[in-house]
Amino acid sequence: MIIKPKLWQIPTPNQQVDEQLDEKIRLLQARLYQIFHKHQCVKVANSLAAEDVLMIDVLAKLGVSAQIFTLDTGRLNAETVSLFDEIKQRYPNLVFERYEPQAQAVASYISTHGENAFYDGVDLRKQCCFIRKVEPLGRALLGADAWLTGQRRQQSATRDALAFFEHDTLHQLAKYNPIYDWSEQQVWAYVLKFGLPYNALYEQGYPSIGCQPCTLPVKAGDDIRTGRWWWESKDSKECGLHQSSVHQIKQQDS
């Protein structure tokens, strides 16, 4: 008999996390207010993850005019793509944009290396991520003087020193990670408490969801990004979207 491993599950809320949640939300609102007060044009990355929907929900409740962009790589799961419209309909007062890779660059990569050449090495994987994510990100950020991400420290070994504020040297912009210090349990406590839409793949053992061919479900207890580029070592598990930040400064929350 084959025993299937127990997969990661959406954390169930507990009393301690629930009690901390109001204070976490208050701090997050203060951080977002500070950012939108300081900058003229703030763009918000929406990878359609639970963290991003949480931030969009808080922004909508604050009533700020945020421009929210999604990088549609062309290799996303159907479950992920369908969430885009659901979020857009839920927040009619926010501006949502979708950026796709340049068709010529995709065609050239496929004809030279093959459609799934990213399995053949880190360089070819990073080339694919550059074409489908990094280059479109540059277009998405045009005109902005700051951008926000839903990255958290606990997500992976590559993010354990993540700070609230970074200077994005590649795009010459301020970059903020307003929920850098939220735990997975706190994120899900918020999502479930306010009934936010979320990707159906979370219920199939996917704690971190990227492109379909590069993401697997993970076992309970594993690092939550284990299923991203599962064939690579954990030190290379970034797509290049967050490569350029230096001068990290921890925020002093009051």
Given the rule CB under 6 A, which residues bind ligand SF4? 73, 75, 118, 125, 128-129, 132-133, 210-211, 213-214, 239
* Amino acid at site 230: W
CB 247, min distance to ligand SF4, A: 27
Catalytic residue among 25, 44, 239, 241: 239
> How many other C-beta atoms can be found within 10 angstroms of the C-beta atom of residue 163?
17
41 marked ligand binding residue: no
Residue nearest to ligand SF4 (CB): 211
214 marked ligand binding residue: yes
Residue 251: C-alpha distances to residues 80, 108, 143, 153, 166 (Å): 32, 43, 25, 14, 10
Cβ(198)–Cβ(119) under 8 Å? Answer: no
Beta carbon nearer to ligand SF4, 146 or 214:
214
CB 211, min distance to ligand SF4, A: 3
Residue 172 token pair:
């010459």
Q: Is 247 helix (H, G, I), strand (E, B) or coil?
A: strand
Beta carbon nearer to ligand SF4, 43 or 133:
133
Specify whether 239 is catalytic. yes
* Amino acid at site 57: D
Beta carbon nearer to ligand SF4, 145 or 232:
232
Which backbone phi and psi does 98 adopt, to 5 degrees?
-125, 130
128 marked ligand binding residue: yes
| Separation of alpha carbons 220 and 246, rounded Å | 33
Beta carbon nearer to ligand SF4, 133 or 242:
133
CB 113, min distance to ligand SF4, A: 11
CB 88, min distance to ligand SF4, A: 22
What's the CA dihedral at 216, 219, 221, 224 to 10 degrees?
Answer: 10
> How many other C-beta atoms can be found within 10 angstroms of the C-beta atom of residue 97?
12
129 marked ligand binding residue: yes
Catalytic residues: 239
What residues form the annotated binding site for [4Fe-4S] cluster? 128-129, 211, 214
What residues form the annotated binding site? 128-129, 211, 214
